[in-house]
């Protein structure tokens, strides 16, 4: 009997050592990645309490579930020191709500590239110190208020799932969130005040969804946003979304901020602090690959210039439906020196407003002839000769740079001004003619001159 007990003990020690050797160990890191570990093998792994583990990597294995005590059993000797846990690229579809109990010092959790479709509301309740959570590339369709306990979260990745809606108040506890990626989902609407509590958010990615409606107050509260990506969606117009790019640091009233994104200029200062220091800031807005044909830039951005502030806005409008520019858009671009990337749009070569910003936009657009059968679909030569639409379909006029300037000057006159000008010229000419005729055919002073003339004729 004693021999049997000893044999069982030795076998268990051997098995434990064999499974522990699945992981490449250093003083603070246990790398168990890509070892074909399945659920049954995982529960037999044991770490010595003589080491202080901070990072455990189980990525790229064959795990399918995490039970309530799976991690606590294998990590119980080192659980108090774990700061980073990577379980990405497995086949996990089921996670018990107590799977992460005891990991209250963990800063980073990676569950990406699994088969997770449902998350228990209390799953992350012990992860109050977690600053980074990656749930990307799963099969999540709905997300309830699962982030309420993650008050210190700074980076959250939800990309490439199947999320159709963001419930109100989902991010109400994420005041420290800096980076949020919800790209590659099935969102159609961004509702009012969805990100209202995310006052620290700097980068928001909403690309590759089906968004076609953005509520007026959708981005209310984003006071530090510097990069907003709405590319590859189904936006036809953006009328009520206003970005308030303020050039001075000031506390604005809540009433004034309701419809705007307020971006304070607390960026990099040059040497020599004080009232004369130059502040710079950048804001990136990506609206490429949508269905936009017109944007009112003055409504979209509320900009105010400051002598000591350099505004650097990058606006990407590639692959939309723009075919022309209105004069107000051109004025706005020149005033704030913001020239969007318009490449991949079906530009109308006849648009004189487009010609007026030719030099600034020529590297970021390709204009195609649209009205001429002969030239339809042909790219517009932006560098040497500009092809401008002619009166008929059988001819086209080549306009060089000097002619372009003349066209711009003519186009700057509105129709009413031309009418007034022509009318004034006619009145002046008529007056001159009347004066000349009056001088040449002045009547004689004798009021009976006609009698004398008649008498001479009879004679």
**β-pair partners for 25:** 30
pLDDT at 410: 37
The pLDDT value given to residue 343: 85
In this structure, are 45 and 153 located in the same domain? yes
The pLDDT score that the predictor gives to residue 300 is: 73
pLDDT at residue 198, rounded to an integer: 95
> What is the per-residue pLDDT across 179-197, written as a single tens digit (0 to 9) for each?
999 999 999 999 989 999 9
Q: What is the CATH number of the domain that holds 215?
A: 3.80.10.10
433 SS3 class? helix
Closest CA to 90 of 141, 16, 32, 46: 32
Token pair for 455: 């008498």
Q: In terms of DSSP bridges, do strands 397-399 and 386-388 run parallel, antiparallel, or are they unpaired?
A: antiparallel
The structure tokens listed for 433 are 């003619």
Residue 271, pLDDT score: 34
> Could you say which of 163, 193, 228 is where a domain stops?
163
Residue 198 and residue 141 in one domain: no
Same domain, 159 and 233: no
Residue among 146, 127, 134, 266 at smallest CA distance from 202: 266
12, 128: one domain:
yes
Give the model's pLDDT for residue 320: 92
**Claim to verify: residue 185 and residue 150 sit in the same structural domain:** no
- CA distance readout (Å), 31 to 25, 26, 84: 6, 8, 12
Does residue 182 share a domain with residue 159? Answer: no
- Domain membership of residue 170 (yes or no) is no
Residue entry with tokens 């318009």: 342
The reply to whether 191 and 215 lie within a common domain is yes
Same domain, 156 and 213: no
State the CB neighbour count (10 A cutoff) for residue 26. 10
**Domain around 146:** 1-163
pLDDT number for residue 48: 78
Low-confidence spans in the chain with pLDDT less than 50: 4-19, 245-278, 307, 372-377, 381-413
The total of structural domains in the chain comes to 3
Question: Does 153 share its domain with 12?
Answer: yes
Please, which residues bridge with residue 190 across strands? Answer: 214
Bridge partners (DSSP) of residue 227 are: 203, 284
């Amino acid at each position: 009997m004693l021999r049997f007990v000893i044999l069982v003990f030795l076998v268990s020690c051997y098995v434990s050592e064999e499974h522990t050797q699945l992981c490449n160990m250093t003083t603070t890191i246990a790398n168990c990645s890509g070892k074909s570990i399945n659920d049954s093998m995982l529960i037999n792994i044991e770490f010595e309490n003589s080491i202080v583990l901070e990072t455990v990597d189980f990525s790229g294995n064959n795990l399918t579930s995490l039970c309530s005590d799976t991690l606590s059993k294998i990590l119980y000797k080192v659980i108090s020191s774990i700061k980073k846990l990577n379980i990405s690229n497995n086949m996990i579809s089921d996670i018990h709500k107590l799977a992460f109990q005891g990991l209250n010092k963990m800063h980073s959790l990676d569950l990406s590239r699994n088969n997770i479709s449902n998350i228990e509301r209390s799953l992350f309740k012990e992860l109050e110190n977690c600053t980074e959570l990656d749930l990307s590339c799963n099969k999540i369709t709905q997300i309830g208020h699962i982030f309420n306990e993650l008050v210190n979260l700074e980076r959250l990745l939800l990309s490439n799932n199947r999320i159709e809606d963001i419930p109100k108040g989902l991010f109400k506890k994420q005041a420290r969130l800096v980076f949020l990626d919800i790209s590659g989902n099935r969102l159609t609407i961004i509702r009012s005040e969805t990100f209202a509590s995310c006052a620290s958010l700097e980068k928001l990615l909403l690309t590759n969804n089906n968004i076609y409606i953005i509520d007026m107050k959708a981005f209310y509260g984003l006071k530090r946003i510097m990069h907003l990506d709405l590319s590859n969606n189904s936006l036809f117009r953006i009328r009520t979304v206003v970005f308030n790019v303020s050039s001075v640091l000031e506390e604005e009233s809540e009433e004034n901020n309701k419809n705007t994104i307020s971006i304070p200029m607390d960026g990099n200062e040059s040497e020599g602090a004080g009232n004369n220091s130059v502040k710079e800031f950048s804001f990136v807005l990506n609206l490429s690959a949508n269905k936009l044909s017109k944007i009112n830039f003055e409504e979209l951005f509320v900009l105010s210039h400051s002598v000591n502030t350099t505004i650097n806005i990058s606006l990407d409008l590639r692959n939309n439906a723009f075919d022309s520019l209105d004069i107000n858009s051109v004025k706005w671009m020149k005033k704030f020196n913001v020239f969007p990337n318009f490449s991949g749009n079906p530009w109308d070569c006849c648009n004189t407003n487009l010609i007026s910003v030719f030099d600034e936009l020529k590297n970021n657009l390709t204009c195609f002839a649209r009205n001429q059968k002969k030239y339809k679909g042909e790219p517009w030569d932006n560098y040497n000769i500009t092809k401008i639409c002619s009166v008929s379909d059988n001819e086209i006029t080549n306009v060089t740079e000097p002619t372009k300037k003349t066209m711009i000057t003519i186009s700057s006159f509105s129709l009413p001004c031309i009418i007034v000008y022509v009318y004034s010229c006619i009145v002046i000419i008529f007056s001159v003619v009347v004066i000349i005729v009056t001088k040449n055919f002045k009547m004689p002073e004798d009021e009976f001159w006609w009698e004398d003339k008649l008498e001479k004729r009879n004679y």
